[in-house]
Every structure is written in C-alpha cells, then in structure tokens.
C-alpha cells in the first residue's frame, strides 16, 4: 500500500473519530443538558450518562440541577417610620424548567442579576410598610414570608423556583444609629413614666377604697358594740331590778358596797368614823 492511501485512510479515521466524538456527550448526575440547534431548543436531557446528538449541528448547554445560593448586595431602604436601614439578603433557588430558563434568561449570570432586582425590589416594598421596631422584632418573619412569596411568583416565568429568601442583616447606617438609639430610649422612658403614673393612680384608688372600707367597718363595729353594751346594761338593770324586788335588803347591801367602794378608793385613804355610825352598819352587821 502506497503512502497516499495510508494518508487517506488515516485522515478518514481521524474524521470519523472526530465526528463520533462530537456526536456523543455526557450528562453528570448534578447536571441537565439542553440540545440546541440554530438557537432553538431541540430537547432536554435530565438523565445522567452517555447521550447522542447530531455532530456539529446540535449544540449543548448545561445547567446545574442543584440548589444555588445567591447573596444580594447590601441595600439602603426606608421603613414606615422614615428610618433608613441597611439590608442584605440571600436567596436559594433552582432551575426547574431549563427550556423556559434558556429562552428567557439564557445564562446563570443574567439570572442572578434578575433575581437581585426582583428580591431587592420586594424588600424595598415590604420594608416600607413596617416600622423599624417591627422589622427587627415580631413582624420580621412575616415580612420575610411576603418577600419570599412575591419573589417566587415573579421568578417562576423564568423557569426558576425560589426555595427561600432570608434577610441576613438589618442595620442602621452609622450616622443614624446613635440618634435612633436616643430617640428609642426616650420613647421607652416615656412609656415607663406613663405606666408608673397609671400604677400610682390605681394604687391611690385601691388605698382610698381600703380606707373607706376600714372606716365603714369600724363604724359598724362601734355601732354593734354600743348596741351590745346597751343590751348588756339593760339586761343587768333588769336582773338587778328583779333581785331588788325579790329581796329589798339586797338593794341596801348593794348600795352600801358602792358607797364603800367610792369612799375607800385610792391607796392613801384614811377615815375616822364612830363604830356606832350607821355608815358602818353593813360592815358590822352584813
């Protein structure tokens, strides 16, 4: 075999090898491939392994099937109470429709730019509807949820599924931090003073009511004691009267004891009395 034929066979084998090599492509587990011809999508390949295409006519575009992370640049936004805050976020997203993604976005870089625009726009809109205290407090989760839902809705026509949107940081610009802190402290101090005043007013009402009840209870107790005292006196008079009526001598004896009690009262009483005096009759002849 002469040399020209060897060169022809070798060239034919090389061309065949190149054609075969160009007609086979590999799809990895984490990839999805799109076969494109003249700018139009021919088919989408999701299964990993070896696949065939028309050499030199079909072109391949690969996209990642995994979840992708994108950190948006820091944005300065304004809250409902006119406070300017620095907000940055991150988005987790995935290409779920490669054909739609290719027709509307083409590249991952363009998709990232579009996602930044969508997410930042929704952040501005939602943050503008809440106050700074609510944004860093109890309404933070609700704000992030609304941003996520709206962003996912706007990204769906691009063949993108947004899995999550999170606000990483919500800070005040350095120039405003101290002024906002002083104002917030003054507001909290005002609230504390109002609560103390309300508490003192309530305490005075409680004390006044307690004093009123005490006065009423003392008056009622005094009234009841006077009533009982009067009833006791009346009963004592009745009993004494009955005893006097039953034995007149007892009346004289009782009155004599009362006179002795009055006359001999005190520690230094001294009396000089004739033993035959009627005054001592009860003591001598009881």
Residue 94 lies in a domain: yes
Confidence of residue 23 (pLDDT cuts 50, 70, 90): low
Among residues 59, 55, 26, which one has the least CA distance to residue 42?
59
Out of 56-60, 200-204, 274-278, the most confident range is 200-204
Decide: helix, strand or coil at residue 212: helix
Mean pLDDT of 179-188: 75
Structural domain boundaries enclosing 268: 236-284
Count of the separate structural domains present in the chain: 3
Same domain as 82, residue 166? yes
Same domain, 144 and 78: yes
pLDDT at 15 over 60: no
**Per-residue confidence at 159, pLDDT binned at 50, 70, 90?**
very high
- Does residue 172 carry a pLDDT above 60? yes
Hey, which residues does 26 pair with through a beta bridge? 50
Pairing, β 84-95 against β 160-171: antiparallel
Check residue 177 and give its pLDDT: 57
Same domain, 8 and 104: no
Last residue of a domain, one of 37, 64, 91: 64
Q: Is residue 87 part of a domain?
A: yes
Whether residues 39 and 72 share a domain: the answer is no
Domain assignment present for 101: yes
CB under 8 Å, gap of 24 or more: what pairs does 258-261 form? none
* 214-242 average pLDDT score: 82
Mean pLDDT calculated for residue range 99-122: 90
214 part of a folded domain: no
Residue 44 lies in a domain: yes
**What number is the average pLDDT over the span 150-166?**
93
pLDDT of 176 reads: 57
Residue 216 lies in a domain: no
What pLDDT score was predicted for residue 219? 84
Euclidean distance between CA atoms 232 and 226, whole angstroms: 10
Domain boundary among 172, 200, 225: 172
Do 9 and 40 reside in the same domain of the chain? yes
What is the model's pTM?
0.54
Task: Check whether residue 87 and residue 163 sit in a common domain.
Answer: yes
Has residue 150 got a pLDDT over 90? Answer: yes
* Contact of 69 with 156, CB cutoff 8 Å: no
Check whether residue 90 and residue 42 sit in a common domain: no
Give pLDDT tens digits for 123-145: 999 988 888 878 877 788 888 89
Residues 73 and 54 both lie in one domain: no
Residue 282: predicted pLDDT: 60
54 lies in the same domain as 133: no
pLDDT 10s digits, 64-77: 888 999 988 888 88
Q: How far apart are the first and last CA of the chain?
A: 179
Residues 93 and 106 in one domain: yes
Per-residue pLDDT averaged across 9-20, rounded? 61
Q: Is residue 197 a part of any domain in this protein?
A: no
**What percentage of the chain carries pLDDT values higher than 90?**
14
Q: Are residues 97 and 141 in the same domain?
A: yes
pLDDT attached to residue 249? 67
Q: Is residue 132 part of a domain?
A: yes
Instruction: State yes or no: pLDDT of 115 exceeds 90.
Output: yes
Mean pLDDT of all residues belonging to the chain? 79
Residue 227 pLDDT: 84
Indicate if the pLDDT at residue 276 is higher than 70. no
End residue of a domain, out of 18, 35, 64: 64
Same domain? 35 vs 93 = no
**Least confident among 46-55, 107-116, 181-190, 222-231:** 46-55
Contact 162, 97 (CB under 8 A): no
Has residue 86 got a pLDDT over 80? yes
């Amino acid at each position: 075999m002469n040399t020209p034929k060897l060169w022809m066979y070798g060239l034919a084998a090389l061309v065949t090898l190149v054609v075969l090599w160009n007609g086979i492509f590999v799809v990895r587990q984490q990839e999805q491939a799109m076969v494109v011809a003249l700018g139009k999508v021919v088919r989408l390949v999701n299964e990993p392994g070896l696949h065939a295409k028309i050499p030199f006519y079909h072109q391949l575009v690969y996209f990642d099937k995994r979840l992708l992370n994108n950190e948006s640049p820091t944005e300065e936004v304004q809250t409902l109470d006119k406070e300017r805050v620095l907000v940055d976020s991150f988005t987790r997203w995935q290409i779920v429709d490669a054909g739609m993604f290719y027709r509307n976005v083409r590249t991952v870089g363009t998709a990232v730019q579009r996602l930044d625009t969508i997410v930042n726009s929704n952040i501005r809109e939602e943050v503008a509807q809440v106050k700074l205290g609510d944004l860093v407090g109890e309404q933070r989760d609700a704000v992030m949820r609304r941003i996520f839902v709206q962003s996912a809705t706007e990204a769906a026509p691009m063949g993108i599924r947004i899995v999550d949107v999170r606000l990483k940081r919500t800070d005040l610009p350095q120039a405003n931090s101290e002024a906002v802190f002083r104002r917030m402290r003054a507001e909290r101090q005002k609230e504390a003073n109002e609560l103390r005043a309300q508490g003192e007013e309530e305490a005075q009402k409680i004390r006044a009511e307690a004093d009123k009840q005490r006065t009423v209870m003392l008056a009622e107790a005094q009234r009841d004691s006077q009533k009982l005292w009067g009833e006791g006196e009346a009963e004592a008079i009745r009993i004494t009267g009955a005893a006097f009526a039953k034995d007149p001598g007892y009346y004289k004896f009782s009155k004599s004891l009362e006179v002795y009690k009055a006359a001999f009262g005190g520690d230094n009483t001294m009396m000089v009395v004739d033993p035959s005096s009627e005054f001592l009759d009860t003591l001598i002849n009881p």
